[in-house]
Amino acid sequence: MYAALLLVALSFTPKETVLRDVVSVIEVNHMCEKNGSLVFDQIIFWRWVPSESAYRVAGWRILKSVREEAPKQVCREPDGWQPRPKWKGGHAAPLKRHDRGGWWISQWKDERDRVWREVAAPMYRETWTHYDPEVRDRQYIPSNQRMGLRQPKR
């Protein structure tokens, strides 16, 4: 009797949806102030736009809990590179998946849209900048006009 009720209850439980996107490049960007202080870590998803012969931002998000420690100065100083904090992965951090053809995969629970997201790209890069590449891309296309990542069906 209880087993039958459990089966009925499970059949009405909504299944988690995974929204999958493919982009051209996944970038992990570390934005630093001129004095070398780390401001934030972010992940940026770039798509190649053939008509512009350029990569454009499809989406981005701040990376959370990706470092074991966060020293004050991690970016370029006049006398060279300061020690970088140890990367531990975490929320949305991309991983190279050999079982997926060597593509880079970023996965996370999107709390705003209440779905699991997965973004895949054949290329990955890590950058350390004194500017925000996502904000700089807005001069070419405003953020509200970007193609963006897939939206869940409502």
Residue 11 lies in a domain: no
Q: How many domains does the chain have?
A: 1
Higher local confidence (pLDDT), 38 or 11: 38
Asked whether residue 1 is assigned to any structural domain, the reply reads: no
Domain that holds residue 37: 24-145
Mean pLDDT, residues 133-154 taken together: 88
Establish if 99 belongs to a structural domain.
Answer: yes
Can you tell me the distance from the alpha carbon of 85 to that of 129, in angstroms, rounded to the nearest whole number? 15
Does the residue 71 lie in any domain? yes
The CA distances from residue 79 to 9, 36, 44, 126, 143, in Å, are: 64, 11, 29, 22, 37
Is there a domain that residue 18 lies in?
no
**Per-chain mean pLDDT for the chain:** 80
- Element spanning 47, H or E: strand 38-49
Residue 120 to residue 97: CA distance in whole angstroms: 10
| Residue 15 belongs to some domain of the structure | no
Is residue 153 situated within a structural domain?
no
The 10s digit of each residue's pLDDT in 111-135 is: 888 889 999 999 999 998 889 999 9
How many Cβ atoms sit within 10 Å of the Cβ of residue 36?
17
Residue type, 96: K
Instruction: Please give the average per-residue pLDDT across 101-108, as a whole number.
Output: 94
What gap in Å lies between CA 41 and CA 13, rounded to an integer?
Answer: 36
